Structure 1
Amino acid sequence: MSETMTLVLNHRQIQQKITRMAFEIYERNVAEQGVIFAGISGMGYILAGLLAEKLREISPLNVKVVEILLEKDAVVQGKVSLSDEISFDDKCLILVDDVLNTGKTLAYSLKPFLESPIKKIEIAVLVNRSHKLFPVTPDYAGLELSTTLSEHITVDLSSDQFSVHLH
């Protein structure tokens, strides 16, 4: 039995979503000294880089990107760490992941930041599925998509043709 995949967003649509999200981030953070994007390893980190690149194009904000290293399949037992040691003091931190399913991964990804005097934390995702099992709601979402728990979303930002598929 072959699995059918439905294209939800194509390359051009994803680029439009990233541009819109970057403008929203700038609007809400125009008075900030800087913004740090913390992308969850994998597609979240790639998305963080794309958002940071776009934000640098449209604003004078000081923008940094750091990778949150964790095991997505074992977030409870696994160690959560950052790719770089940078100061988060009095900065705006934006947690980034490709898809928000239940909120579990994003909730556990907060571990490295809990003892830093961060000014505020916001969440950006490309696709929000709204299966809230954890109290995590995105501040910036490219697409709100109602799905069943048995359906899956696959995001590919690694090739020269970005895509989001439902299967």
Structure 2
Amino acid sequence: MSIDTHVIMDETAIRRALTRIAHEILERNKGIEGCVLAGIKTRGVFLAKRLAERLEEIEGASIPWGELDVTFYRDDRNKTEGTNSNTFSLPVHGKKVILFDDVLYTGRTIRAAMDAIMDCGRPENIQLAVLADRGHRELPIRPDYIGKNVPTSKSEEIEVMLQEIDGSDVVRILHHREEN
């Protein structure tokens, strides 16, 4: 099996998408008062941090943000193994919680994130921001803020690489194909 790759977002496109998402969040929420950012571990955390920085540049005020580990809440994990690793420590009761993840696919990670947030309190609402939406939902989940819509086939993957982990910023499609 071989893998073809195609870059769909470079460093500049990612930066522009985050700036656009920041402006959309400000417009929808009439500022950042009462908002909290939750970056879904792993790459969503770095994207949430960048978004928080962008919002502060634009708005002149900081937005609370934190890391959300949804491992314990996943429906594909055995609940008897390990302990609840949810480390989201910011108050969410009565807040507008903006979840941020790198790629939206089936919706199962987001469902787990919503369960984790609800265990922390009762937010006013939960909004969803993603860098890439590739479709193929298994649950009725739709993002509020999208960096890029990327229609894919089931034989393709979206790979997000970020400077903080991977040494460069790029989003690409990986197409797995059988060799003859």
- What is the CA–CA distance in structure 1 between the aligned matches of 2:149 and 2:99, rounded to whole Å? 17
Asked if residue 44 in structure 1 is aligned to residue 44 in structure 2, the reply is: yes
Aligned match of 2:170 in 148, 163, 166?
163
- What is the CA–CA distance in structure 2 between the aligned matches of 1:81 and 1:122, rounded to whole Å? 22
Shift of 1:131: 1.1
Q: Is the 8 A contact 2:52 2:62 kept in 1?
A: no
Q: Which runs of 4+ in 1 moved over 4 A?
A: 78-81
- What is the CA–CA distance in structure 1 between the aligned matches of 2:32 and 2:20, rounded to whole Å? 19
% same residue:
33
Alignment of 1:9-158 (within 5 A): 9-30=9-30, 33-71=33-71, 75-76=74-75, 77=77, 81-115=85-119, 116-157=121-162, 158=164
Q: Is the 8 A contact 1:80 1:109 kept in 2?
A: no
Note closer, same or farther for the CA distance 1:134–1:112 as it changes in structure 2 (3 Å cut): same
Shift of 1:126: 0.3
- What is the CA–CA distance in structure 2 between the aligned matches of 1:145 and 1:136, rounded to whole Å? 16
Q: Is the 8 A contact 2:70 2:112 kept in 1?
A: no
- What is the CA–CA distance in structure 2 between the aligned matches of 1:81 and 1:48, rounded to whole Å? 19
For the pair shown, which has the larger CA radius of gyration, 1 or 2?
2
TM-score (norm 1): 0.90
- What is the CA–CA distance in structure 2 between the aligned matches of 1:28 and 1:101, rounded to whole Å? 24
Shift of 1:44: 0.9
Note closer, same or farther for the CA distance 1:109–1:84 as it changes in structure 2 (3 Å cut): closer
Shift of 1:117: 2.4
TM-score (norm 2): 0.84
For 1:162, give the aligned amino acid: D
Deviations 1:112-135 (A, max 9, x none): 222522111100000001211111
Is there any run of 5+ residues in structure 2 with no aligned partner, and where?
175-180
Aligned-residue CA RMSD (Å): 2.0
For 1:14, give the aligned amino acid: I
Is there any run of 5+ residues in structure 1 with no aligned partner, and where?
none
Deviations 1:14-51 (A, max 9, x none): 10000000000011112552321111111111111111
- What is the CA–CA distance in structure 2 between the aligned matches of 1:4 and 1:31, rounded to whole Å? 42
- What is the CA–CA distance in structure 2 between the aligned matches of 1:80 and 1:134, rounded to whole Å? 23
Note closer, same or farther for the CA distance 1:146–1:43 as it changes in structure 2 (3 Å cut): same
Please identify, of 110-119 and 9-18, the stretch whose mean Cα deviation from structure 2 is larger. 110-119
Q: Is the 8 A contact 1:37 1:64 kept in 2?
A: yes
